[in-house]
Amino acid sequence: MKTAFITGITGQDGSYLAEFLLKKKYKVVGLVSKKHNIGWENVENLKKRVTFEDGDLLDKSSLEKVFKKYKISEVYNLAALSFIPACWEKPQLAFDINALGVLRLLEIIRDKSKKTRFYQASTSKIFGRSDKSSLNEKTPILPKDPYSVSKAAAHFIVRAFRNQYSLFAVNGILFNHESPKRGPDFVTRKITLSAASIKLGLQKKLELGNLKSKEDWGYAPDYVRAMWLMLQQDKPQDFVIGTGEIHSAKEFAEEAFKTIDLNWKDYVEIDKKFLRPAEVDCLKANSAKAKKILKWEPSVDFKKLVKIMVEADLKLEAANGK
C-alpha cells in the first residue's frame, strides 16, 4: 500500500485528492495545524479513513516528524496562502508559506527520503499579464503580485532540486478550478452562494468587482486526478492543466442566475473595493502536453460546473437558513 502525504488536506483540492487516493487504496496522511481551524467541514466524511498529523509548513521539525513516522511514497503540497488580497496584506507570510515551505519539504526529501515523489501546486498566476493567446509549459513566468511571486519562487525551487538532486519533483501549473468546496472569498463561490441566498430570499444584492475579468475555470475533482497522474509517470515533468476555454465573471454570474431562473442584472452591483491591484485580465490554458502524455481531459464543462456549484449552495443555504 502506498502512503500519500497531503499538505492543505482540509482545503478544496486536498479534500478531493484525499477522496481520490482512498479510492486508489492509498494510506492518506494529512497535515493539519492546531493553530488554525480551516476547512474541517471539507474532510468531516474522511476523519475515520485519513490519518491527521499536526504540523505546519513554517515548522520544519513538524514536517520531519511525519517523514520519520511514515514511509511516504508521494507528497502533494497543496497548502498555501492563496487568497490574493490576503497576500498583499501579508506578503512576508505568503512567501514563507508558499515558497520556503516548499523548500523545507524538498530538503527533507533530499536528505531523508529520496525515493519520495513530490507534487507542487503551482498556478497559472505565475504567468502574470501574458500577451499569449494560450499558455503552456514554455510560457515566460512573469508574476505580478505577492501570491504569484511566491508561487513562482516555489516553481523554480522544484525545478532546481529536480535537476540538482535527481528528485522526482513536479509542478502542476493549474488554472482556476472550482467546486462547492471553494472558499467563499473566491469570486465563483461568492457568486453561487449569493445567487442561492437571493433565490431563497435571504439576500437582496450581490456586489462584485471587475465583471470583465476572464478566467479558464474547471472542476476541481478533474484537477486532482491530473495531480495524481503526474506522479505516476516514468520521468518528472511539469504540466499545464486547464480547460482551454475562458469565461468572464459576468458570464459566470449570468449562468449562475440563469440556473435559478433569475436575471443577474437585477441583482449584481459593481463595488470598486473589490477591484484588485495588478489584476490579471485573461489566462487560457494550453494543456496539449497533459492530454498527450497524461491522457488527461476535463470531464465537466463550464455550464455544468456552474450548475453543480449553484445546486450545492441552494441545498447549503436552505439548510443553514441564515
**Tens digit of pLDDT for each residue in 181-214?**
998 988 999 999 999 999 999 999 999 988 888 8
* Residue 237 reports pLDDT greater than 80: yes
Decide which of 215 and 28 is more confident.
28
Q: How is the beta sheet containing 51-54 ordered, strand by strand?
A: 51-54, 27-32, 3-7, 74-77, 117-123, 169-174, 239-241
Write down the pLDDT at residue 322. 53
Terminal CA-CA length for the chain: 44
Domains and CATH numbers, the chain: 3-177+217-241 (3.40.50.720), 183-216+247-281+300-320 (3.90.25.10)
Q: What percent of the chain has pLDDT over 70?
A: 96
Q: What's the CA gap between 268 and 291, in Å, rounded?
A: 37
Min mean pLDDT across 157-171, 225-239, 270-284, 288-302 is at 270-284
Reading the block at residue 112, the C-alpha cell is 531523508
Q: What average pLDDT does range 1-22 have in this prediction? A: 96
pTM: 0.92
Q: Which helix (H) or strand (E) holds 68?
A: helix 60-69
Q: What's the CA gap between 167 and 163, in Å, rounded?
A: 7
How does pLDDT run across 308-320, given as a tens digit for each residue?
999 999 999 999 8
Write down the pLDDT at residue 37. 64
